[in-house]
Structure 1
Amino acid sequence: MSLHERLYDETERVQVRFVGFVSGNGRYDFGIVYTRMFFGKPLVVCLQTGRSSLLSQDDIDNLDHIQRVYCLKSRNEAEEVSNFLHHNVPHLSMEAEAESG
């Protein structure tokens, strides 16, 4: 008898975008993984810390969430990262954008 019940086991080709920026508070590098999984929310990975989160535009606008998830030192850093992600993470998944475009 198995000790674990498998919830899912999916393989798909995904699109990944690497973006970064520098501000007065430091350098930030992210990998954005676009997938059909997770209700179209892209997986945003901080390449410096390895911390990651599935983010919708609502999540990106939640500064407390951004600061906590990416272990940012200040609210100002969270605002900068939120603003950057807001302009670099699409409102729809890449697949949905391709279908609508």
Structure 2
Amino acid sequence: MTERFFLYDDTEQTKTRFVSFMGEHQRYDLALIQTERYYGKRLVLDIQGGRFAIIGHDDLEEPGYVEEAFKMPAEEAEELRAFLYEVL
């Protein structure tokens, strides 16, 4: 067996916020992870949908970013985007 070559193997303290809310179109169960690794952006996990993205305010302003990252229709993505604008 060959020796494993790590690009990095770091341990870091993070701050995680778990939040669940009902929107007009669906329920959202999220984990928002704050770390130093992503230059001020948050790791946003959609727990029920099994998807995640590294998101900052600049990403929220990018057309179609939330829709593509979380594979959701525009109406649901707009609810999520509005919430993320408030908490990021």
TM-score (norm 2): 0.87
Percent identity between matched residues is 32
Q: Give 1:14 shift.
A: 0.9
Q: Residue 81 of structure 1 aligns with which residue?
A: 80
Verify the 8 A CA contact 1:43 1:54 in the aligned structure 2: yes
Equivalent residues in 2 for 1:22-101, closer than 5 Å: 22-72=22-72, 74-89=73-88
2: distance between equivalents of 1:76 and 1:63?
13
Of Structure 1 and Structure 2, the greater helix share is in: 1
2: distance between equivalents of 1:83 and 1:14?
24
2: distance between equivalents of 1:27 and 1:47?
11
Letter in 2 for 1:42: R
The CA deviation string for residues 46-101 of structure 1, in whole angstroms up to 9 with x for no partner, is 011221111011112224110111111x2111111100111012xxxxxxxxxxxx
Cα RMSD of the aligned pairs, angstroms, is: 1.5
Question: Which consecutive unaligned segments of at least 5 residues does structure 1 have?
Answer: 90-101
Letter in 1 for 2:82: N
Distance 1:21 1:57, change over 3 A: same
Q: Size of the alignment, in residue pairs?
A: 87
Question: Which consecutive unaligned segments of at least 5 residues does structure 2 have?
Answer: none
